[in-house]
Amino acid sequence: MIILAATPIGNLGDASRRLVEALETARVVAAEDTRVAQRLMQALGVENRPRLIALHDHNEREKSADLVELAREDDLLVLSDAGMPTVSDPGFHLVSAAIEAGVTVTAIPGPSAVLTALAVSGLPTDRFTFEGFLPRKAGERASALGSLADERRTMVFFESPNRLADSLRAMGHAFGGSRLVVVCRELTKLHEEVRRGTPEALAAWADDGVRGEIVVVVAGAVPRTVDLDTAVQEVLLLTATESLKDASASVAAATGLSRRTLYEAALRARTR
């Protein structure tokens, strides 16, 4: 089988007993960076020396088929540099290939930067969405954030320290200057830092230079208060580019009104 193993995101004390046992018995390990995997085993006191195979963004597609065949004969342990493989890390294509080939996939759960940041953010955790890394180019980033302007769930992003200030300002433009944002830096590490504020205030802080691994948590949109007639007109305007069903869903998400009510009201208005 293929075993996806979560590794510490910072503090080595977060390594699970199951992870250590898996490393001690593994004969083949596919790792995002084999040097990082070797350092992890050394730090955890693992004396086992498995065969290490590099599995990263640049070679995963071409190596997946061979790794699946290896997993038919023996367990294949898969590691990313930190956290769970496949979550903004290599592993997705390998898992897809394994499922298609009928090879079992399981996981050793453990540390997650997404859930850790969400938990300490103080923002609602009952419903959230993970958006990964924003696009590098300013226009694509603005478009991505614009599509999330009415998202009511708490949003979690990864970001590079070098792009953090620009991304925070783009969030302010897309979401409004008063939206609450939480920047989590170096989670579980010695210099862990959590800062809360508006996009612009946090961008000004980030302008001075930020280091380390960054997770950004953003409050969801507050539903706009509009009357039904106004909302129906918005639905009808959207039907120029969307189906009535999708347009009703979009306006319902932004206003908190019932999607069914909007759909039926817009349908009546359109047939008058």
Instruction: Report the alpha-carbon distance of residue 19 to residue 6 in Å, rounded.
Output: 8
Tens of pLDDT, residue by residue over 76-96, are 999 999 999 999 999 999 999
Tens digits of pLDDT across the chain (272 residues)? 999 999 999 999 999 999 999 999 999 999 999 999 999 999 999 999 999 999 999 999 999 999 999 999 999 999 999 999 999 999 999 999 999 999 999 999 999 999 999 999 999 999 999 999 999 999 999 999 999 998 999 999 999 999 999 999 999 999 999 999 999 999 999 999 999 999 999 999 999 999 999 999 999 998 777 889 998 998 998 888 889 998 898 888 778 889 999 999 999 998 87
Domain 113-218 has CATH 3.30.950.10: yes
Q: What would the two tokens of residue 237 be? A: 């305007």
Q: What would the two tokens of residue 184 be? A: 């989590």
Tens of pLDDT, residue by residue over 8-27, are 999 999 999 999 999 999 99
Residue closest to 255 by CA, chosen among 230, 219, 218: 230
2-108 folds as Cobalt-precorrin-4 Transmethylase; domain 1 (3.40.1010)
Alpha helices in the chain (DSSP H): 17-25, 34-43, 60-73, 92-101, 113-121, 138-146, 164-175, 199-206, 228-238, 244-255, 259-270
8 A C-beta contact, residue 78 and residue 30 = yes
Residue type, 71: A
Tens of pLDDT, residue by residue over 131-160, are 999 999 999 999 999 999 989 999 999 999
pTM above 0.85, yes or no: no
Instruction: Report the alpha-carbon distance of residue 113 to residue 187 in Å, rounded.
Output: 7
Q: Tell me what pLDDT residue 271 has.
A: 80
Using a 10 angstrom Cβ sphere, with 0-12 exposed, 13-18 middle and 19 or more buried, the burial of residue 137 is exposed
